Amino acid sequence: MKRPDALAALAALAQDNRLDIFRLLVEAGRAGMPAGAVADALDLAPNTLTFHFDRLRDAGLVTVRRDGRSMIYAARYEAMNALIAYLTENCCRGNPEQCLPVKRESAPRKVRKSQRAQIAEPVS
């Protein structure tokens, strides 16, 4: 996955309703589910839903097919996998280990009360 695709996927998922929609479709599995069922489950207006589906689709995160008068949307697991791979490679320097909390070399040295004021607190 290249940067523009990763950015598109992040933007698509970085929204309340769309994250819900995608998670619901992930649960639904490869078979996917009809737009109406998603609308019912998440209590969204059908036109609002179309708007979000379009964005998820542009980002390559879902597919649609028609079944009678229903549109069946399904999660593209490969896309999520590619996003996770991108984040692991580019934002953890290749290994997720990198992202774990840093190990202290030794316990922090004890400090007398009179010295405490000297020690700068890291800003937030």
Binding interface with a copy of itself (CB under 8 A): 3, 6-7, 10-11, 13-16, 19, 22-23, 26-27, 30, 57, 63-66, 71, 75, 77-78, 80-81, 83-84, 87-88, 90-93, 96, 98-102, 120, 122-124
- Is 47 a binder of DNA (CB under 7 A)? yes
- Is 84 a binder of DNA (CB under 7 A)? no
Q: Which is nearer to DNA, 57 or 88 (CB)?
A: 57
- Is 121 a binder of DNA (CB under 7 A)? no
Helices 46-58 + 35-42 axis angle, to 10:
110
CA pair distance 96, 72, nearest whole angstrom: 35
Of 61-69, 74-82, 85-93, 100-108, which segment contacts DNA by CB under 7 A?
61-69
- CA of 49: how far to CAs of 41, 43, 45, 54, in Å? 12, 10, 6, 9
Contact between 12 and 56 under an 8 Å Cβ cutoff? The reply is yes
